[in-house]
Structure 1
Amino acid sequence: MSKHFTLAIKMVVVSVVFSAAFSACRKKDSTKVDNTTPTSSSVVSDEDSLKYLMYRIMQVTYVDGGRNKTTDLPTYFWYNQVPQLDPSSNTYVTADDLLSTMRTYSKNSAGTVLDRYSFLDRTGSLSSSLQNGLSETFNKVSATGNYGMEVSYASDGTKSYLYIVYADKNSPAGQKGLTRGDEIIAVNGDSNISYDGANGTNVSKVTNAIYYSSSVTLKVKKAITGAEVTYSLTSGSFTINPVLFDTVYTVNSQKVGYFVFYTFTNTYNTQGASTLTKSKLDGLFAKYKSAGITNLIVDLRYNQGGSVTTAEYLDSAIAPASAANKTMYYYQYNDKLTANLDGTGLDASVKFPNVTGGLNLNNVFFITGAHTASASELTLNNLKPYMSVKLVGDTTYGKPVGFITFNISKYDSTHTKQYLADLYAINFATENANHVGGYYTGIVPDQAANDYVNVPWGYRNDDENLDRIFNYITTGSFARTSANARVLTETTANQRAAIPSSIASPRFNGMVDYRIGKRIQ
């Protein structure tokens, strides 16, 4: 199969290699394609090459043709709303500029731009992270990996505080013992870190230190003991453990499983071997099945998505036996891909397996928030046609669309391959078995609840989300009992709710289907 577009322009040869090439381009012969994309100048730089190839994949075709093969296969979900553009125009200094312009045309009937998501990954670290379960590198200058934690500002109504909202157990932060509810009181010896707005000097200082540095010193007040401890961290690579916390509660004589899941790393890596994600989930659901849980709580309040195959794993493990062999979700593509499903090898839908996980649940509760996105939303939406699904927390992010990645490389005049970027441009949308999707403004919870970030994982009396859920299991209503209301009222002064979007996380937000890449022969 030829995987390359070939352009002879000023002795520069550029090509594109797909990490997700479809079966339609499986052929032995190589056929050049007429360049139907408008060009106003010769492609002479890496950035020009990237602009041209990105535009062609999105708007013209992802294959280079061949005998009896269509070359009219644009991949962008909203390609037919984008006018003809000149990717080599000086109007677009970078490929990112061109992509930003293209995104602005993805409007619904009300004129709202829908594509908040498409982007270029120029390091390639995201693909490795999601597929192989390895940490991403946020600092593109010198750091390796990251600290493996997320932070947020919080408020008690009068004052702001900075908290660790979670830390991966395998990460540099987790290995040092940092965890949810630990208050950061100084960064690199500087205690002037109070919240001063999304674009404030303090927020920028904290953001750079936590996400874009190779080393940092944090003075922390521990969540449980109140002791002040100083930690010195060095960013590093680690194998992701997406399960931050898990336990089994007894509520009104019922066994209730609870776990916190922060990213959808693949269950199998690029070599086909099971990942730590799979082994952790296998063990978790085996424990819940053995315990005979009748209710399950899945905490996705900080889960921004990842691989759709992991969403399918969770849905299959949670769904009732009656869902077996039935539709889990439908794919939607642009009209040209849809008209060529057989030739492209794209799936129209995904079904539940022959046998589901074996749990017999009365309810599954999802704790959600503004960061709950894409694969997280897919997971809970897929289950709604088949069982009682309840959401508690805040409205989700709103991302019913996903990516199939394209790896773009350049071959120069010496035939040396040079990686340029991975393209993540929206290729598909999803709907559940009842054809419910399109939740671009997010999914509203059944019960609103505050996210008190100073409360450690699993503290059922202080976590409003858990309190509401336990009330529902006990009484059939999310309303607080008088006893629980009193407990929460007595501790209100110590409860500090997250300030939404107070710090911008560099973590990936989206869902990706990597399986198509594995179909390349």
Structure 2
Amino acid sequence: MPIRISSSVAKVMVSLVLAGGLFTACRKKEVADTGTNPPSGNGTPKSDEDSLKYLMYNIMQVSYADGGRNTSFDLPTYYWYQQVPKTDPFSSSFAKAEDLLTSLISYPVDAAKNKIDRYSFLDRTGTLSNKLINGIVGQTQADVKGDFGLQATYTRSGQLIVLYTDKNSPAGQQGIQRGWEITAVNGDSNISYDNGGANTKKVEAALFSSNQVTLAFKAPGGANMGTYSLSASSYNINPVLFDTVYTVNSKKVGYFVFYTYASPFASNGAPTTTKLELDRVFNKFSDAGIRDLIVDLRYNGGGSVSTAQYLDNAIAPAATKDKKMYNYIYNDKLSANLSASGLPAGINFAGGGNLQLNNVFFIVSDNTASASELTLNNLKPYMNVKLVGAKTYGKPVGFISFNIAAHDATGTRKYLADLYAINFETRNANNEGGYFSGIDVDHPALDYVDVPWGAATDDNLKGIFAYISSNGTFPAPTPGARMAAPDNNRVALPGALRLNSFKDMVDYQLGKQLQK
């Protein structure tokens, strides 16, 4: 029987969001806290912050049993726990749990002494789990109102351009389109890029942290598109930004843009908008009889592993049924206790979809991460997979995220934070993985951010269409290397404006296994 987790842990998730459902604390064997919080050396209760530090450290470095309180088990969950020295979580060096976590994840290094863990974090609001599990922006205590559903970036010449809008969001509902230039924010036209200075901070605050904003736009080519007032709102995420079927030299080609991996099923078991949209798109492709598929993940930072599994099962050939989709690699102690913990050694295909594909193309970039990378890596042993765009982010590892809470003497539970600390690595059926520096593309292409979704002038699509037309050859680079001298008015400036998204691979199904 798996080792039980009690009151301090309400769910387990993985940054590679492992599929399916909430990892809730086992209530059959509730373990009462000995006091309001972990005691200090003289037996007096400590603060909630110290409770968070204590439980976080134990879950990562000692044992997850009983939510990190039962230290009689030797079952640390952190993937690189062996490289972390014994640490006093109550040390005055760590004013906050984030300070402790920063210290812990600074120790793991690779053979060249480069820091490995640039991923682990704490979420004190629960906002991320609501997005990934239920597919909802907003409606949490920390984020009641939601957001605008608009993502923008600066170009290399300093212009502020819309990358995309969620169809269900306030921006999407008002018809704001990819490629529009934002010329003024709240009446202020002094918004050109200033390398993280006052302008950039002002724009980030207005777009990502405010409840209301007024934006002026013009379309590519200079036409004035008017001024739009947006109010932050809660909405059901629609991860499909665009979809269509092309005919390329008489061949049917399906294409869709997918920007985030919210789970196909909510915590109550109901299908989310993600599932409904994916089913709609793949039914459309099946009815059209496509033989090539293009999945555009250029802005997809990942999310729920269950979505990666859902996509792979829809894309893979039917012959993959019951074959290995991917393998988990845990730390040595979890690996030696898979039977006791209930953790799986890997995941098999449930059964391929009804598409009969010759090729599957993924459009990727340095924003393509985690569960997105998992999706394409899983298919490589079974299909002709080609990557177009730019090298991916590089995150072959995922989380079993723990929901950490303190209990007072009456047993009242107080939520503290969700811990996302790396717990596993994944490799495909051919044992391919380890892409910490990203996955290289088969054909480089530029992301011209003023090109509408699906336009034949998209540099990525042009390369793919050429490959399909020539039966397997990408076009050679243009003499003079167009890639080396892009139009700075049309190409994003990397890192200029933070993408308002996460880079995650979280597996909720692992939580279910741990509580059986």
Q: Normalising by structure 1, report the TM-score.
A: 0.89
Deviation at 1:517, TM superposition (A): 3.0
Q: Residues 32 and 237 from structure 1, CA distance in 2 versus in 1: closer, same or farther, beyond 3 angstroms? A: closer
Query: C-alpha separation between the residues in 2 aligned to 1:416 and 1:24?
Result: 15
Query: Which digits, 9 at most, give the CA deviation of each residue in 1:474-505, with x for residues without a partner?
Result: 123221699xx9xx99xx86960111111112
> Is 1:272 the equivalent of 2:269?
yes
| Alpha-carbon distance in 2 for matches of 1:309, 1:257 | 22
Matched residue SS, 1:92:
coil
Distance between the aligned counterparts of 1:186 and 1:23, measured in 2? 46
1:253 paired with 2:254, answer no
Is there any run of 5+ residues in structure 1 with no aligned partner, and where?
Answer: 5-14
Say whether 1:368 aligns with 2:370. no
Q: 1:480 to 1:251 in 2, by over 3 A?
A: farther
1:71 to partner: Cα distance? 1.1
SS of the residue aligned with 2:255?
Answer: strand
Query: What letter is aligned with 2:428?
Result: N
Deviation at 1:43, TM superposition (A): 5.0
Q: Is the CA contact 1:23–1:344 (under 8 Å) kept in the aligned structure 2?
A: no
Return the alpha-carbon distance in structure 2 between the equivalents of residues 394 and 236 of structure 1. Answer: 33
- Give the deviation of 1:18 after TM superposition: 3.3
- Structural mapping, 1:39-438, within 5 Å: 44-64=46-66, 71-135=73-137, 144-155=145-156, 159-197=157-195, 199-223=196-220, 226-353=223-350, 355-438=351-434
1:230 and 1:271 map into 2 onto residues whose CA distance is: 40
| TM-superposition CA deviations, 1:357-387 (whole Å, max 9, x none) | 0111111000001110000000000000111
State yes or no: 1:466 paired with 2:461. Answer: yes
Contact map agreement 1:38 1:85 (CA 8 A) in 2: no
Distance 1:393 1:431 in 2: 23
Contact 1:139 1:213 in 2 (8 A): no
| Superposition deviation, residue 516 in structure 1 | 2.9
Give the counterpart letter for 1:509 in structure 2.
K
Q: Residue 17 of structure 1: CA displacement?
A: 2.1
> How much has 1:48 moved relative to structure 2?
0.6
Q: Is the 2:23–2:512 contact (alpha carbons within 8 Å) kept by the matching residues of 1?
A: no
The one-letter code sitting in structure 2 at the alignment partner of 1:308 is V
Verify the 8 A CA contact 2:33 2:411 in the aligned structure 1.
Answer: no
Which has the larger displacement, 142-151 or 289-298? Answer: 142-151
Counterpart of 2:18? none
CA contact (8 A) 1:370 1:395 kept: yes
CA distance in 2, matches of 1:292, 1:402: 35
Structure 2 letter corresponding to 1:335: D
In 1, the alpha carbon distance for the partners of 2:175 and 2:466 equals: 32
Contact 1:328 1:352 in 2 (8 A): yes
Deviations 1:136-182 (A, max 9, x none): 58996x86211111111113xxx321111000000011011112111
Which piece of structure 1 moves more, 200-209 or 260-269? 200-209
* Shift in CA distance, 139/178, structure 1 to aligned 2, threshold 3 Å: farther
C-alpha deviation, 1:342, in angstroms: 0.5
Q: Indicate if the aligned counterparts of 1:393 and 1:450 stay in contact, CA closer than 8 A.
A: yes
CA contact (8 A) 1:393 1:449 kept: yes
| Maintained 8 Å contact 1:24/1:343 | no
Alpha-carbon distance between aligned partners in 2 of 1:185 and 1:139, rounded to the nearest angstrom: 34
Paired AA for residue 360 in structure 2: V
Return the offset for 1:72: 1.0
| Pairing 1:496–2:498 present | no
Structure 2 residue identity aligned to 1:474: S
Q: Distance in 2 between matches of 1:262 and 1:205?
A: 25
Change (3 A) 1:171 1:331: same
Whether contact under 8 Å (1:471, 1:480) holds in the other structure is: no
- The answer to whether the Cα contact below 8 Å between 1:180 and 1:456 also exists between their aligned partners in 2 is yes
CA distance in 1, matches of 2:140, 2:204: 11
User: Secondary structure of the equivalent of 1:164?
Assistant: strand
Higher mean C-alpha deviation, range 226-235 or range 23-32: 23-32
Query: Cα offset for 1:23?
Result: 11
CA distance 1:39–1:252, change in 2 (3 Å): farther
Q: Aligned partner of 1:17: which letter?
A: V
Q: Which amino acid counterpart does residue 75 of structure 1 have in structure 2?
A: T
Q: Is the 8 A contact 2:295 2:363 kept in 1?
A: yes
Q: Determine helix, strand or coil for the equivalent of 1:194.
A: coil
Name the TM-score, length of structure 2 as normaliser: 0.90
The structural deviation recorded for 1:22 is 8.1
Check conservation: 1:404, 1:512, Cα contact below 8 A.
yes
Across the aligned residues of Structure 1 and Structure 2, the Cα RMSD in angstroms comes to: 2.9
The equivalent residue for 1:16 is 8
Distance 1:179 1:204, change over 3 A: same
Letter in 1 for 2:8: V
**Closer, same or farther: CA 360–239 of 1 in aligned 2, 3 Å:** same
Counterpart Cα distance in 1 of 2:138 and 2:447: 26
